[in-house]
Amino acid sequence: MRHAALVTLLGLVLAGVGASFAVTHFSMSSDTEGLISPKLPWRQRETAFNKLFQAESGRIVIVIDGATPELADAAARDLTDRLSAHPDLFHKVERPGDFFAREGLLYEPYDKVRSQLDQLINAQPFLGPLAADPTLRGLAGALDTSLTGVAAGQAKLAQLDPPLKALADTLDARRAGKPAFFSWRRLISGAAPDAPDARETRQIVLADPVLDYSRLMSGAKASDFIRQTARDLGETAAHGVTVRLTGDVPLQDEEFASLGEGAGLIAGLAGGAILLMLFFAVRSPRIILAIVVTTLLGLICAAAAGLLVFHTFNVISVAFIPLFVGLGIDFGIQFSVRFRTEHRPGVPLDAALTGAAEGIGRQLTLAAAAIASGFLAFAPTNYVGVSQLGVIAGLGMVIALLLNLSVLPALLRLLRPPAARVVEGPDPLEAVDRFVLGHRRLVVGGALVAALICAAALPLLRFDFNALHLKNAHSESVSTLLSLMSDPDQNPNTMEVVTPSLAAADALAPRLARLPQVRETRTLSSFIPDDQPRKLAAIGDAAQLLDLTLDPLVLAPPPTDAETRVALAATAARLRAAAAKDPGHGGPATRLAADFEALAAGPAAERTAVEGLIMKPFQTLLAQTQLALQAQPVSLASLPANLVADWRAPDGQARVSVIPKGDSNDNRVLLKFIAAVRAVAPDATGAALDIEEAGRTVSGAFAEAGLLSFLVITALLFAVLRRVRDVAITMAPIVLTGLLTLGSCVAIGQPLNFANIIALPLLFGIGVAFHIYFVMAWRSGGEHLLQSSLSRAVFFSALATATGFGSLWASSHPGTASMGKLLMISLVWTLVSALLFQPALMGPPPKDRLRRG
């Protein structure tokens, strides 16, 4: 007080130095791989597996869906070529299906291979003219050849229905201004055009981007480039192609982006709510200003201290900001409300400040020490993200205490808020105070019954370890991943077993495949097709028959536009003539004749566009068919090197991949699958196990830290209070609050998860502080504490935190919303414990303490 200006100036200088250090040294890593200790056995197995089999964690999975198989294939090829030309953005870009494009028929059952080859051979009369002249003129000529056969009685017009109808449907849609796409593959196979097979119309491209962990969204640059490249290539919905991104990188980037959605509004609402609660608590703009300035100075200093210790924040440790604000505001409210109570009319400002320090200083010091100890208990856990958070928040509590006992009173002396008015009349909490103290056994007994009920319900409390459930299911990366997971061949939630050799892997795979929770198993040997001699013989026969058809010796020169118009008009006339002779089957022929006539009479640009629409897919089909007919025997020696490297390590170790049966996004299914596989292969690793083990590690870290902090705080309280009963009545309400909070989660079906569990340190800290305030006041001889300034401070401190951080409940992000919900639930029970259970538990202060007081 004697040097208020100097103290304030020193506080501002310290914050200025801290701000300068924080700005020049600020660093935040968005690498979520580092949030859990790499020393854990399951993390070590994961790392060893990744080193052996080149598994990439930072990957973008590009999912390309086409209206037709040809569009999807062409889009994937073009996008792969374009992205591969940018090594500054991508370490590697590959299409896993390149090898299977040539050898794919060998992986089908023999009957299906025979059927597909027969379809191609039967289409030979139509394919030959088109291969020699892949233009609209060639299409018209191929139809003419077929119509000649109909006119000669060698075929029926009804036999031409499939191609005539498919062409007419496409051209009719285009003339009507609707999306129009044509597939030769579906036409030849006889598949219904309105029932596409997702496995045919979907292509996957894998891109390993260059990541920038200094940015919150480390892969945003690469993802943005992929999307822009797709647009530049015309790979859009309007052109029959959709390009979506998923994988580790987009999932993480979209997670951080979604957290920022509405953050400004939520922060504004939270800030406004905190200021409103501060006004109700102290009723003085000058005191509010002093509290806010002190809190901001402390926040800056805490940020600088965190950077000084760890150099880099992670995505969890940066959460010290709401922790500090919530508890820093509480310290400011406690001191200021006590000061406001002391600063009555006629009481000098200095005397009021001294009275506030004498009345609340010891409580604040003990509360800060207890909260800091609780936070520091997270330091030794394996959850590195929260470990750092605990250390920074613990240091922050020391900083908050020092500033609230130095800068805050100095600011109050400089700002000189007016004395508080004396409010006459009964205290609104007098009746509650009388009831609680008059019915202590009832209140304590009711609390005990509630605690026992909640404790009995604890086995029903769930920890949802699946981080996917915390993401917005409607975001592109999540919805795309869920779509992939519906296809067993693309399901990422697999288990992986490393064996000494391929022979060992092949011996283990059948044992795992027999498990009822397993859909199938794969090893490198799974990529050796069965029944190859028969399939290769059939493919070889078809290749000889189709050789000149698919690769004609002479190609027709490109037609002029006039020649194309003449060919279209002539074919239209023949179509009408054929339809007139067979009116019962002439519908498709008549429709196509009208389309050809309109096309011949229209502008040249329209003919060029239609030629691309129909003949470009034909050229894609031609290339695919030629490649598929070049199939060669597949052996371990002939498999692609990158495929082999994914399944067998250079030292001979081999991998068994185990695919779950059922919906692996269902936690119960996933847990049963993991347990079954580990019963056979205890050293298994893989994405499915990582999900479960990460949840176990996080929940275990909080349980470990909770127990450790409970013991440390209990020891600290015993060292200060020196009475077992006093320590017990301080900690009992905290236990009650925890049980009531978790019991409420069971009642409403709210599981704990990676997001809302981070709220528990804040809630624990506030609970410890509130109960220490009451017990210390009670030990000093305080009576009827519900009618004191202390209960007012506790009430408005809780409301400030609840309204401020409870606004997170309104977030569109499921994880953030669950955090806000848990905060609100716990703060309600914290108030109930502090304002009802705590006074009833304490009762009137002992007479010996009244005499000492």
Separation between Cα atoms, residue 793 and residue 508, nearest integer Å: 65
pLDDT score recorded for residue 807: 63
In terms of Cβ atoms closer than 10 Å to its own Cβ (0-12, 13-18, 19+), residue 365 is middle
In this predicted structure, the answer to whether residue 754 has a pLDDT above a threshold of 60 is yes
- Answer yes or no: is pLDDT of 424 > 60: no
Q: Which residue has the higher pLDDT, 543 or 713?
A: 543
Query: 3-class DSSP state for residue 435?
Result: helix
Provide the terminal-to-terminal Cα distance of the chain, rounded to the nearest Å: 26
With residue 92 as reference, give the H or E element that holds it: strand 90-94
Q: What is the mean pLDDT of residues 539-566?
A: 90
Look at residue 414 in the predicted model and tell me its pLDDT.
95
8 A C-beta contact, residue 140 and residue 163: no
Question: What digits encode the pLDDT tens for the residues 69-112?
Answer: 889 988 999 999 999 999 999 988 988 766 888 898 999 999 99
Distances (CA, A) of 557 to 132, 138, 144, 563, 611: 9, 11, 19, 11, 15
Average pLDDT over residues 306-321: 80
Q: What is the pTM of this model?
A: 0.74
CA 231 to each of CA 56, 75, 242, 247, 608: distance values in angstroms, whole numbers, following the listed order: 27, 11, 10, 20, 21
Residues 6+ apart with CB under 8 A from 369: 716
Q: How far apart are CA 391 and CA 387, in angstroms?
A: 7
d(CA 365, CA 769): 10
Rounded percentage of the chain residues whose pLDDT exceeds 90: 37
Tell me the C-alpha to C-alpha distance, in Å, between residue 412 and each of 3, 11, 405, 433, 557. 12, 14, 11, 32, 93
Contact at 8 Å (CB) between 257 and 249? no
Looking at residue 290, its pLDDT comes to: 95
Q: Which residue has the higher pLDDT, 465 or 223?
A: 223
Judged on CB neighbours under 10 Å (0-12, 13-18, 19+), 231 is exposed
Q: Among residues 549, 595, 587, which one has the least CA distance to residue 571?
A: 595
Residues in the chain: 853
Q: What region does 409 belong to: left with phi over 0, alpha with psi -120 to 50, or beta?
A: alpha
pLDDT at 7: 95
Q: What percentage of the chain carries pLDDT values higher than 70?
A: 92
Lowest mean pLDDT among 313-327, 509-523, 679-693: 313-327
pLDDT (tens digit per residue) in 108-129: 999 999 998 998 888 888 888 8
Question: At residue 657, what is the residue type?
Answer: S
The answer to whether the CB of 591 falls within 8 A of the CB of 168 is: yes
On the question of pLDDT at 530 being above 90, the answer is yes
pLDDT at 495: 93
Per-residue model confidence (pLDDT) at position 87: 92
Q: Are strands 313-314 and 28-29 parallel, antiparallel or unpaired?
A: parallel
How does pLDDT run across 806-817, given as a tens digit for each residue?
A: 666 666 667 777
Distant-in-sequence, close-in-space partners of 142: CB < 8 Å, separation ≥ 6: 126, 129, 130
> Looking at the predicted structure, is the pLDDT value of residue 33 above 80?
no
Give the Å distances, CA to CA, from 252 to 205, 259, 486, 621.
19, 11, 21, 37
| 243, 92 contact by CB (below 8 A) | no
> Which of 525, 518, 526 has the alpha carbon at shortest distance from 658?
518
Considering only 187-201, 437-451, 734-748, which range has the smallest mean pLDDT?
187-201
Q: Using 50, 70 and 90 to split pLDDT, how confident is the model at 851?
A: very low
**H-type alpha helices, 343-425:** 349-376, 384-404, 407-415
Least confident segment among 218-227, 240-249, 754-763: 754-763
- No. of helices (H) and no. of strands (E), the chain: 35, 11
Residue 368: band (very low, low, confident or very high) from pLDDT cuts 50, 70, 90: confident
Q: How sure is the predictor about 32, in pLDDT bands with cuts at 50, 70 and 90?
A: low
What is residue 834's DSSP assignment? I
Cα separation, 546 vs 117, in Å, equals 10
What's the rounded Cα separation, in Å, for the pair 389 and 386?
A: 5
| pLDDT score of 618 more than 50 | yes
Phi-psi region of 334 (alpha: psi -120 to 50; beta: other; left: phi over 0): alpha
Distance, CA of 788 to CA of 845 (rounded, Å): 15
pLDDT for 288 equals 94
**Spatial distance between the Cα atoms of 13 and 297, rounded to a whole number of angstroms:** 10
The confidence score (pLDDT) of residue 611 equals 93
All residues at 6 or more sequence positions from 548 whose CB lies less than 8 Å from its CB, including other chains: 128
Torsional class of 686: left (φ above 0), alpha (ψ -120 to 50), beta (otherwise): left
Instruction: Find the mean pLDDT for residues 153-163.
Output: 84
Output phi, psi for 814, to 5 deg: -55, -40
**How far apart are the C-alpha atoms of 804 and 640, rounded to whole Å?**
58
pLDDT for 780-836, tens place per residue? 776 777 777 778 788 878 777 776 666 666 666 677 778 778 888 888 888 888 888
Q: How confident is the model at residue 848 (pLDDT cuts 50, 70, 90)?
A: low
Closest to 108 in 3D by CA, of 524, 659, 634, 507: 634
Tell me the three state secondary structure of residue 406: coil
Least confident range of 39-43, 133-137, 253-257, 376-380: 253-257
Q: Would you say residue 270 has pLDDT above 80? A: no
The DSSP code sequence of 771-806 is HHHHHHHHHTT---GGGSHHHHHHHHHHHHHHHHHG
Q: Cα separation of 798 and 788, whole Å?
A: 16
CA dist 47 and 37 (Å) reads 12
Q: Which of 213-227, 481-495, 757-771 has the lowest mean pLDDT?
A: 757-771
Grade residue 852 by pLDDT with cuts at 50, 70 and 90: very low
Under 8 Å between Cβ of 791 and 785? yes
The alpha carbon of 513 is separated from its chain's Cα centroid by a whole number of angstroms, namely 31
pLDDT band of residue 258 (cuts 50, 70, 90) is low
Q: Could you identify the residue written with the tokens 């977030």?
A: 811
Q: How does strand 463-464 pair with strand 752-753? A: parallel
Mean pLDDT of the residues in the chain? 85
- What's the pLDDT score for residue 853? 39
Least confident of 134-138, 172-176, 612-616, 843-847: 843-847
Torsion angles phi and psi, residue 280, rounded to 5: -65, -30
Contact 89, 58 (CB under 8 A): no
Angle at 839 between CA 834 and CA 840, to 5 degrees: 115
> Is the distance from CB of 134 to CB of 616 less than 8 angstroms?
no
Please tell me the number of Cα atoms within 13 Å of 460 on its side-chain side.
Answer: 15
DSSP-assigned states of every residue in 682-748: TT-BSHHHHHHHHHHHHHHHHHHHHHHHHHHHHHHHHHHH--HHHHHHHHHHHHHHHHHHHHHHHHH
Nearest to 270 by CA among 325, 309, 210, 319: 325
If pLDDT is split at 50, 70 and 90, which confidence band does 504 have? Answer: very high
- Give per-residue pLDDT as tens, 328-349: 888 898 899 889 888 888 889 9
The 10 Å Cβ neighbour count of residue 88 is 9
